[in-house]
Structure formats: structure tokens, C-alpha cells
Amino acid sequence: MTGTFKTNNPVNIVFLLGYAFVLKWHSFLYPHIPVAQATDGFLYLKFLNFIAPAGQALPVIYPFIVLVLTLSQAIAFNNIINNEKLLPKPNYLPAMAYMLIISLFPEWWQLSSALVINSLLVWVWGILSRLFNHPSPKTQIFNAGLVVGLASFFYFPAIGFAVLVFFAIVTIRPFHLSEWLVGILGLLTPYYFLFALLYLSNAENPLTYLPSISVSLPKFQQDLWAWGAIILLVVPFLISGFYIQGNILRMLIQARKCWNLLLFYLLITLLIPFINFTSTFEYWILCALPFAAFHSYTYFFATKKRLADIVHWILVLFIIALNIWVSVSHA
């Protein structure tokens, strides 16, 4: 199956849609109605309230929203990787890897604020990956900061992705103080307009839109399924490191910088859910995008040794078995 996605055939979008149904069929049979968490931003709360009447009448609307979000994220992320030539030739392996990864945990089958901002983070990473030789870098940096600020309105800890923006400026661009100031200005712009609107509307306490920040260690009560999913997430990532190291001298300088940026992106996504921590696994879906990029590298370079097909089918069988187990437990 990896051979099919290794081509740049638009028909692969249909296969991705099929993956979305096959790998998460439990979520369509037993729709989950999302419940707001303490870390969710006010825009996400308004979004949940807006769709609540339709969701109560037809709960299956929630998994279909998840379907639209994940499929659009997979295709957009895949296009960026192809455009930046992070793989030797255009293909749909990153999109396939993303659809597999977001099916590894039942919490990632559900609508959440973290899933929503993944759409914004695709945009941010696309902007940052083009900074190397972009003719208008300040505009791009401002836009990246602006989108990160907007993302924090859906999931407040997403403000931590400002570190990714400034890391990109350090590693991809020569130092210019003006670019740092533009990035900060972009980050603060959504808050400027928010508080201006609140002031004009005579809001009683605008500070309620700024949640307090705390950092704590996770306390999960996970089962063997979760540990199995973590292993299947990590092993292809480690294999990709071996292949990337072997091919790094053949890469363009821009591609090397993009892979370094993706690695830092992954690190941030693994740390951000510790901010205002809640005892659920849904917020770690932020790491699915960078993991998908590394997994796709494994699928691309391991095909000749059949390793790619083996890893792919192990993931597929694991996810199908997980759906069955969750359905049995639900019954």
C-alpha cells in the first residue's frame, strides 16, 4: 500500500478518505460529544456552543467535523513537504502517515481544541519553512506570530509555539532585530484587537480571557493499548533518524534547516501539553504532524527492504484491533 502513496497521484486523496473511515469507524458508530476542558480557549468554547444544537440532534456531526479537519490537515501538510522538497520526489506518504498516526489513540478520534489548532499550525510551519529565501521575510514572520496568537484563542497553551517562530528566525535567518520585533508584534496583535473589542463592549473583566499558567507532571492510567501505540509512534521515528542521517549530505541547505525545524517542532509539541495539564491524552495530538513527516521518510526509504510495508500493516492491524476493542468495551 505504501507503493501507492509513494506516487503523486491525486487519486490518493480518495484512499486517504477511505483510511479515515476504516481506521476510525468506531467514532462514527459511537459519536463522542466533546466536553470543554480548562485549557480550552474562548473561541473553541464559542465554537462548541455554536454547533451544540446540531450536535445534540445529530451527534455524528462531530466525527464528520474531525474527518474534514484531519483530511484537510493531511493534504495541506503533504503539499508543504512536497513543495519544500523534503523528500526526493512528490508523494502522499506524509498524508498517509498522518492519517495513521491520528488513529493510534481513541482520544485522537475526537474533536478537541488541539485538533482544531493543528490546522493553524500547518499554516505556521508552512510559513516558517519558506523563510530561508523568501523575498518578504518580515511579512512572513508577522503572519506566523499572528497565527500563533490566534491559535491561543482556541487552546491557550498554544502560545508556547511562539518559541518555534523565534527558533526559526535564529536558525533560518541571519540576525535582524527588526525581524524579532515584527514577530513579537504579530504575536501580540490578536490580543490587541481582543482587548480593544472588549473595552469597546464594556466587558466587566477582560482578564478572564487570559487563563492562568501552570506546569505539572502527567498522571496517566494507561493500558497496554496506549503503550503499544506509543511504541508504534516512536519506532518509525527512530528508523527515520537513521535514514535522514545517511542522506543529510545530499540534501539542500534549506531542506536540512526544515528537518531541524521539524525536530524542534516535535519537541515543543511534546512539552506544551504540560502547560495547564489535564489528565487526558487528547492534547498530544499536536505531535502528530511532525511525527508524520519523520514516518514518511521511513516509508519512502525503507520500501526496497519491505520494511515500509511491514510497519504500515502493523499500524493498520493495530488500529483496527483497537477499534474492535473500544467497541466491545463500549458495548
* Average confidence (pLDDT) over 218-230: 75
Q: What pLDDT is stored for residue 219 in this prediction?
A: 59
% of the chain with per-residue pLDDT over 70: 90
pLDDT in tens, 184-213: 998 989 888 888 887 777 766 666 666 666
**Domain around 207:** 2-330
Residue with cell 481582543: 194
Confidence of residue 159 (pLDDT cuts 50, 70, 90): confident
* Average confidence (pLDDT) over 302-319: 82
The domain tally of the chain equals 1
**Cell numbers at residue 55, please?**
450536535
Confidence of residue 27 (pLDDT cuts 50, 70, 90): confident
What pTM does this model have? 0.91
On the 0-12 / 13-18 / 19+ scale of CB atoms within 10 A, 24 is buried
251 contact partners, CB below 8 Å, separation of at least 6: 259
Which residue type, as a one-letter code, is found at position 73? Q
| Alpha-carbon distances of 12 from 46, 256, 294, 296, 316, rounded to whole Å | 35, 27, 20, 15, 17
